[in-house]
């Protein structure tokens, strides 16, 4: 997307979000014209001079209007989380993705880059060094991975001679600007509510936000109808698996929060999760329980992935290491807490 393609016009759904903003900044650095589609307007995008279209993914007309005039679409927006009403997840993640695909066809867009998740293949057991051949899970314990799997399958099935599609699966995105993972960890650590689950040093993959954004841009550069990456899916990560709780504590340290030192056995955590979930279902509480079975399995198993396909086909290599990313995160958080001082 450099050189002769500097006139590219790209739509980023969820452009005001954590990963979305990183992709937007990367596109702007390459000289692309960028439009964002979100439910709300974002001051950060206004400062960058980004055109902002507002609407809901489930609104086909709003999605179509946002896609009109674009050459490529980065579909990043989704309903996140691990608890809530299934219909809301389906409308945002499945219906919304269908609307994006339909709008790309209606307006002749040839490139659709979709942000998926490794959770679409997570079956609750260890996943160590698996590649893209691993099948979708047969059972899901949360609406997010279930609906993301359906959406990803729709994106891949949409690939044809007119519309080229590709799906990326970044795992545990972190870095400056994180408004989801890190704030939750910090809040629970400061409240004394975080516990290690199990005693195994289970390895996990993560990815620094700017590395994740670069992978999306690399995919867009190589994506065309009939190109080798069209219709394919790719795991992307730091490529350096680390013990789960070591990484959690390194993130907490960067945020100036206390480390996790206490441990509960997996069986006890699972029993508590069952109880919390049951109480929420009985009372109709749509707020996320303090602990769920999905979270217990995520925190007590290994999940790291073979990213050789992304290295080979996308030219992806994580430029920012975990150590360097953590330092960027520490500096950014310190600056946020003490404006004008670092």
Give the residue numbers marked as catalytic: 144
The whole-angstrom distance between residue 128's C-alpha and the CA centroid of its chain comes to 20
Residue whose C-alpha is closest to residue 82's, from 166, 150, 148, 177: 148
CA distances from 95 to 111, 176, 306 (A): 19, 31, 30
* Cα dihedral across residues 78, 79, 80, 85: positive or negative: negative
Q: Name the β-bridge partners of 170.
A: 236
SS3 per residue for 23-65: HHHHHHHCCCEEEEEECCCCHHHHHHCCEEEECCCCCHHHHHH
Q: How many residues does the chain have?
A: 342
Q: Name the β-bridge partners of 235.
A: 169
Q: Tokens for 21?
A: 């903003």
Give the burial class of 179: count Cβ atoms within 10 A of its Cβ; 0-12 exposed, 13-18 middle, 19 or more buried.
exposed
Rg (CA), the chain: 20
Q: What does DSSP assign to residue 319?
A: -
C-alpha to C-alpha distance for 187 and 97, rounded to whole angstroms:
32
Residue whose C-alpha is closest to residue 75's, from 107, 49, 38, 50: 38
CA distances from 141 to 23, 90, 294 (A): 30, 15, 6
Helices (H), the chain: 18-29, 43-48, 60-67, 86-89, 96-106, 143-157, 181-190, 209-222, 244-254, 266-283, 293-300, 308-314, 322-337
């Amino acid at each position: 997307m450099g050189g002769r393609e500097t006139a590219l016009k790209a739509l980023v759904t969820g452009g005001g979000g954590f990963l979305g903003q990183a992709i937007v900044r990367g596109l702007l650095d390459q000289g692309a014209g960028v439009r964002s589609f979100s439910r709300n307007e974002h001051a950060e995008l206004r400062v960058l001079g980004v055109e902002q279209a507002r609407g809901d993914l489930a609104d086909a007309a709003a999605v179509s209007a946002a896609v009109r005039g674009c050459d490529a679409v980065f579909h990043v927006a989704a309903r996140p989380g691990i608890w809530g009403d299934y219909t809301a997840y389906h409308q945002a993640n499945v219906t919304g993705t269908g609307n994006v695909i339909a709008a790309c066809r209606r307006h002749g867009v040839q490139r659709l880059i979709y942000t998926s998740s490794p959770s679409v293949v997570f079956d609750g057991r260890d996943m160590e060094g698996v590649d893209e051949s691993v099948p979708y899970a047969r059972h899901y314990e949360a609406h997010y991975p279930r609906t993301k799997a359906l959406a990803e399958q729709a994106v891949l099935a949409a690939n044809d001679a007119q519309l080229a599609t590709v799906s990326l699966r970044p795992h545990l995105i972190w870095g400056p600007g994180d408004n989801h993972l890190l704030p939750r960890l910090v809040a629970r650590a400061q409240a004394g509510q975080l516990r290690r689950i199990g005693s195994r040093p289970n390895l996990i993959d993560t990815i620094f936000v700017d590395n994740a954004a670069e992978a999306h841009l690399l995919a867009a550069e190589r994506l065309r109808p009939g190109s080798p990456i069209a219709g394919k899916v790719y795991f992307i990560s730091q490529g350096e698996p680390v013990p789960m709780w070591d990484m959690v504590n390194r993130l907490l340290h960067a945020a100036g929060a206390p480390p996790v030192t206490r441990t509960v056995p997996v069986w006890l955590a699972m029993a508590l999760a069952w109880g919390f979930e049951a109480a929420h279902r009985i009372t109709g509480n749509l707020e996320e329980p303090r602990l769920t079975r999905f979270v217990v399995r995520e925190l007590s198993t290994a999940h790291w992935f073979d990213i050789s396909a992304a290295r080979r086909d996308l030219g992806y290599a994580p430029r920012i290491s975990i150590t360097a990313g953590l330092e960027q995160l520490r500096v950014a958080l310190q600056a946020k807490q003490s404006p004008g001082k670092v």
